[in-house]
Amino acid sequence: MKELEDLKLLKKIIEKNKKEIFESIYLDLKKSKEDILFSEYLPVINEINYFLKNLKKWKKRKKIYNEFFLLGGKSYIEYIPYGKVLIISPWNYPFQLALLPLVGAMGSGNKIILKPSEYSINTSKILKKIIEELHNENYKIVLGGSETIEEILKEKINYIFFTGSTEVGKIIYKKASEKLIPITLELGGKSPVIIEDKESIEKGVEKILWGKFLNLGQTCVAPDYILLPKGNLDIFLENVKKYLKNSLKEGKIINEKNKKRLKELLIGENIIYQENNNKTDFPFTIILNPSENSKIMREEIFGPILPVIEYENLKEEYKKLDHKEIPLAIYIFTKHIDKEKISKIKAGGITINGTLFQVTSKYLPFGGVGASGIGKYHGKYSFETFSQERTIFDGTYINIKILNYFMKKIGKIFSS
């Protein structure tokens, strides 16, 4: 199978260029080797391995039950490639978020144009090297800014997969709709953390800060703000300091433009804690009770700033969430798991007593709803996303006389 051979070659090229991949990501984002390994490199290798193991099974034509009156007919579902797929990837996880969808598109048999971010230029260059070493005209990569997307869309594109901000996602969505191109949008939003009780604070803090600190908060599913039961701020801050004592990692904000944006978000806010260090170029900052109408509560933060909002009535906080844009993730820390309540919450994904865990499994779909995205991927869900699910019906042995007989009989039953 051609797709399997292409995936094997891709894996071989990635493994051969491992050292250069790690160096490039470090230059762009100053991630630790450990973070590069587990949040960039291994997810791609694991995805390829999963496709190699399961692709034949997924691609196999599936026989489906028939309606009883279609006696003699045979029904099938098959998965075929869309054709030419455009993948637009972001800078925050520049290796993983370029190649994870590429593995899905490649495994599904599509031609691919990859457009990586111009902000993570070092990683984009190593991606270019990897794609070019495939020596396959079906797989292309284009470097450059937004103007290159305009040029690419002049071609016949059959599917678009975009990962990035909601603002840019709307622009891409509009362009796709003008040409009726099917699209997946992996966006972001403000993913809240809800701490339901005092007992969940101590264990919760380390998981919250672990999720917030990964890539210095530049993660689409990073905890964006915390809802904390009133009267527990001191114990919360105590646990924050305890965690940060030995847990700070290297990292940098992608560019000066984003650093300036983060600084502006803090103007006029009540800063209650700031952790300055020489490992990062922006301090981890906690602010208290920002206004719901403030800029920091209207925009996705995408950095190491954590608003803490004290609340008195938990039910009211859940009601408020219903009136906000649907987030990509919601994190609930609780000692009592209420399955009925959780099933009513609107979010791309929900993690209980943890953060980010929901995006790490190839067995789970990852995607948003509404402003946080359209569609899903990872593992088999990537294969389904990049494949057209097509109906095949074989009517060779259907007898029209028998079909007419059934129709008359059924007609009499319903008309009597």
> Each residue of 210-238: pLDDT tens digit?
999 999 999 999 999 999 999 999 999 99
CA distance 292 to 295: 8
pLDDT of the residue at 411: 82
CATH number for 2-187+372-393 (one of 3.40.50.2300, 3.40.50.1370, 3.40.605.10, 3.40.50.300): it is 3.40.605.10
Task: Identify the pLDDT of residue 330.
Answer: 98
Task: List Cβ neighbours of 230 (8 Å cut-off, separation of 6 or more).
Answer: 310, 311, 312
Topology, domain 192-359 = Aldehyde Dehydrogenase; Chain A, domain 2 (3.40.309)
Q: What tokens appear for 265 in the block?
A: 């978000």
- Sort residue 74 into left (φ over 0), alpha (ψ -120 to 50) or beta: beta
User: Quick check: 280 and 216 in contact, CB under 8 A?
Assistant: yes
Q: Which residues are catalytic?
A: 186, 220
Q: Do 385 and 376 meet the contact criterion of CB atoms below 8 Å apart?
A: yes
Q: How far apart are the first and last CA of the chain?
A: 56
Q: What is the mean pLDDT of residues 190-206?
A: 95
Mean of all residue pLDDT scores within the chain: 95
Cα–Cα distance for residue pair 39/36, rounded to 1 Å = 5
Can you tell me the mean pLDDT for 317-339? 95
pLDDT score for 53: 98
Nearest to 158 by CA among 387, 412, 413, 352: 387
How far apart CA 83 and CA 89 sit, in angstroms, is 19
| 2-187+372-393 and 192-359 agree in CATH topology | no
H or E element at residue 284:
strand 284-288
C-alpha to C-alpha distance for 408 and 4, rounded to whole angstroms:
51
Give, in order, the Cα–Cα distances in Å from 30 to each of 132, 252, 254, 412. Answer: 26, 6, 9, 75
Give the model confidence (pLDDT) of 289-314 as tens digits.
999 999 999 999 999 999 999 999 99
Domain boundaries, the chain: 2-187+372-393, 192-359
Report pLDDT digits (tens) over 78-91: 999 999 999 999 99
- Mean pLDDT, rounded, for 96-108: 99
* Structure confidence at residue 180 (pLDDT): 97
For β-strands 74-81 and 62-64, DSSP reports them as: antiparallel
* pTM attached to this predicted model: 0.95
Q: pLDDT at residue 246 above 90?
A: no
